[in-house]
Amino acid sequence: MGAEQKFLVCWCACVCVCAQKRLWEGTEVGTNLADGASDNKVDHVHDTMQATDAPPSPPAKDQTQRFAFDERIWEATNVEINLVEDAPPIRDKEADEADHVLDTMQTQDFPPPSTAKDQFQEELVIKPLHSGDIYASFQFRTQWDTDFLEKHKFSHYRLFPKSLGQVISKFSVRELHISFTQGYWRTMQWGQPFLPSPPGAELWVWFQDTVTDVDLAWKELTNVLSGIFCASLNFIDSTNTVQPSASFKPLGVGNVTDQRFLRYAVLPREIVCTENLTPWKKLLPCGSKAGLAVLMKSEKLFHSSFHSQALHIRPVCKDWQCKSTSWELRQTLNVVFDLHTSGQGKREWSLFKMFSRTLTEACPLASSSKVYVDITDNPQGELFELSPATPLVSQAVVLGDGRTYSVYDLTDHATFGQTHSLNVLLRWRAAESGEMLRPLLHGERYVAGYGLQTGEIHTLVYNNHPYRAFPVLLLDTVPWYLRLYIHTLTVTSKGRDNKPSYIHYQPSKDRLQPHLLEMLIQLPPNSVTEVTVQFERALLKWTEYTPDPNHGFYVGSSVISALVPSVVAMDTNNTQERPLFSSFFPCKEESTYFMRIYTEPLLVNLPTPDFSMPYNVICLTCTVVAVGYGSLYNLLTRTFQVEEPSQGLAKRLANIIRRLRGVPLLT
């Protein structure tokens, strides 16, 4: 337990630093990055400010002057700069910590809190990937100003979907995170996703501490969600539910971290398709009628290499003082279109090519509606050209890496130009793409061994940081029918034994609960850490097999959660862009960030009985038992006697006649 506390302390410290960073950044003056812009202002402001801080509209001539980079201005954009959902646990801690920090450090610069009741924001981030594929990430955020502690307030709904509001109030849910993913995110080719999710369905829920029977609430909740999302979440039962002790901390405000109120389950086998997307879209205030959601046509979305839709509900601070809380519903949809199947091998992407639609309007209910295009590798337009050009640029630190985005504001009519539609087009000039920074943390998993008796699960965790070691939390959930032998657990880094500083192991119970293995491992710099554990495959009852038993059984992804040293801190060029006085100490405020990655799910074959045999087996086995019974019964009840030869038939007949006649019988 000591190790866990240490980890948490470390976490909190980092979070503190992050919170402070934000305040400092408010006063930081960005240097001149773009060619001619003189009025640069890098202003990081909190998301609550954005309603009062509308950006000026770009000149109309931008529509015609596509390459008007000279006129690009650095604008005070109202981006959620940190894209905080990428670093969720930090954020929740941050909320707590920020609370303290803000009490003392609040300045007059902050505007008074907005009084709007419900808010809706939507955004789309398009990121060209180094492999030539393209990554589109939608985020929809609905904020509902209601006090979640008082049940009677769950009665009036405006933007927040009623079906979810009722679920929250009925089951006393504090946080709910659900994701449906088809395909596997290829970290080594694509870098880190904004919001990681494992293949299949993932659900984790924090209940209020007023819930007495958490298991019952969880069971009912999964069944209700199963209905809402048309998914097989009703297959979540005690055999695939675990209570991780450290890996999944609440992301919203609040300080309940008792794992008794947490339930986590993964269904790696879940197939995600249109029937899951439709109910998900219906939860949006505009549905798929207007705004960014018009792009979500399932025939295109599911013709992709990776598709992930998620939904996160959590309590967040309503204002800076965090005196009261409100509900935040965040719906995200991430999709990666393949260069060859979707793009016909040409490195030329447009909204129309990706989604078969263009944008014509923002959702009227949205307070902000934006499209971001990642142009970090393309600051001068030398790699690809982006049209229509936009004067708005924003900078953000995403997953520890400074990124630059072109921004299209859909609430501004000028964005749509004369054609009244926006079709963002990226056309590559060069065949090659820029260098991709290797992801600092990366995980892989596979099953070793042959035959159907035993096997070994290998998990490889890569630390690609050249000089920093950092700890990771590894969470493994293995179904009961693969019997893990924890004494065979080995953790090796660089050929040396690397003893985990914290192990939480919950062994499985047959047909009741899965194995849960959580470990805190220190990853040495520039190393591969290999975690192996042996297992034995169980023979199940014939009714326990899936309809396609020889396809194999899925084992959910390992979850690797880590505080990763920032790439920004690693960047030597960074010193040139900053005032010298600010860059002496190498460990800067953004020195670590939270990251969660998922490994591949496993597909494991089990030995199978012959499914056509039940009657035969019952008959044959019972026959053997009967042979045993019969022979013993025979010997127990009978006695030995001398066999007397039986008389012949003729003799017996003759004796009957002789008896009738009164003559002595024959012997």
Q: Which residues bind other proteins (CB under 8 A)?
A: 450-454, 480, 483, 485-487, 503, 505-511, 515, 536, 538-543, 607-610, 613-614, 617-618, 620-621, 624-625, 627-629, 631-632, 634-636, 638-645
Residue by residue, what is the 3-state secondary structure of 413-463? Answer: HHHHCCCCCECCEEEECCCCCCCCCCCCEEEEEEEECCCCCEEEEEEEEEE
Rounded Cα–Cα distance for residues 651 and 25 (Å): 123
CB of 497 to other proteins, least distance (A): 16
Closest alpha carbon to 84 in 24, 135, 145, 19:
19
Of 364 and 614, which CB lies nearer to other proteins in the complex structure?
Answer: 614
CB of 437 closer than 8 Å to CB of 567: yes
Rounded Cα–Cα distance for residues 322 and 255 (Å): 13
Question: What are the structure tokens assigned to 489, written together?
Answer: 């657990």
Of 54 and 617, which CB lies nearer to other proteins in the complex structure?
Answer: 617
Q: Taking the CB of residue 151, how many other CB atoms lie within 10 A of it?
A: 12
CB of 454 to other proteins, least distance (A): 7
Rounded Cα–Cα distance for residues 325 and 319 (Å): 8
What residue has token string 């992709």?
304
CB of 478 to other proteins, least distance (A): 12
Of 254 and 514, which CB lies nearer to other proteins in the complex structure?
Answer: 514
CB of 624 to other proteins, least distance (A): 5
Phi and psi (nearest 5°) for 471?
-90, 145
Of 170 and 483, which CB lies nearer to other proteins in the complex structure?
Answer: 483
Of 423 and 605, which CB lies nearer to other proteins in the complex structure?
Answer: 605
Of 50 and 245, which CB lies nearer to other proteins in the complex structure?
Answer: 245
Q: Are strands 348-350 and 425-428 parallel, antiparallel or unpaired?
A: antiparallel
CB of 410 closer than 8 Å to CB of 370: yes
CA 293 vs CA 8, 47, 110, 557: distances in Å: 39, 22, 32, 30
Question: What are the structure tokens assigned to 146, written together?
Answer: 């209601």
CB of 490 to other proteins, least distance (A): 12
CB of 479 to other proteins, least distance (A): 12
CB of 416 closer than 8 Å to CB of 379: no
CB of 607 to other proteins, least distance (A): 6
What residue has token string 């005690």?
238
Phi and psi (nearest 5°) for 168?
-60, -45
CB of 642 to other proteins, least distance (A): 4
Of 352 and 542, which CB lies nearer to other proteins in the complex structure?
Answer: 542
Rounded Cα–Cα distance for residues 482 and 475 (Å): 16
Secondary structure (3-state) at 220: helix
Of 450 and 584, which CB lies nearer to other proteins in the complex structure?
Answer: 450
Asked if the bond preceding 388 is cis, omega within 30° of 0, the reply is yes
CB of 539 to other proteins, least distance (A): 5
Q: How far apart are the first and last CA of the chain?
A: 96
CB of 264 to other proteins, least distance (A): 19
- What is the Cα Rg of the chain in Å? 33
Of 140 and 480, which CB lies nearer to other proteins in the complex structure?
Answer: 480
CA angle 130, 135, 137 (to 5 degrees): 145
Of 345 and 628, which CB lies nearer to other proteins in the complex structure?
Answer: 628
DSSP state, residue 573: G
CB of 571 closer than 8 Å to CB of 378: no
Residues in the chain: 667
Of 255 and 639, which CB lies nearer to other proteins in the complex structure?
Answer: 639
Question: What are the structure tokens assigned to 447, written together?
Answer: 């099953």
Secondary structure (3-state) at 222: helix
Of 152 and 541, which CB lies nearer to other proteins in the complex structure?
Answer: 541
Closest alpha carbon to 127 in 310, 376, 431, 433:
376
Q: Give every strand in the sheet of 482-493, ordered side by side.
A: 441-448, 454-463, 527-537, 482-493, 496-497
Phi-psi region of 420 (alpha: psi -120 to 50; beta: other; left: phi over 0): left
Of 495 and 645, which CB lies nearer to other proteins in the complex structure?
Answer: 645
CB of 159 to other proteins, least distance (A): 46
CB of 207 to other proteins, least distance (A): 24
Q: Which helix (H) or strand (E) holds 384?
A: strand 384-387
Of 60 and 539, which CB lies nearer to other proteins in the complex structure?
Answer: 539
CB of 433 to other proteins, least distance (A): 44
Of 467 and 640, which CB lies nearer to other proteins in the complex structure?
Answer: 640
Question: What are the structure tokens assigned to 445, written together?
Answer: 């998993």
Q: Give every strand in the sheet of 384-387, ordered side by side.
A: 348-350, 425-428, 384-387
CB of 455 to other proteins, least distance (A): 12
CB of 614 to other proteins, least distance (A): 4
Of 59 and 607, which CB lies nearer to other proteins in the complex structure?
Answer: 607
User: What torsion do the CA atoms of 624, 629, 634, 635 make, to the nearest 10 degrees?
Assistant: 110
Of 450 and 581, which CB lies nearer to other proteins in the complex structure?
Answer: 450
CB of 485 to other proteins, least distance (A): 5
Q: Taking the CB of residue 273, how many other CB atoms lie within 10 A of it?
A: 16
CB of 520 closer than 8 Å to CB of 463: no
CB of 259 to other proteins, least distance (A): 16
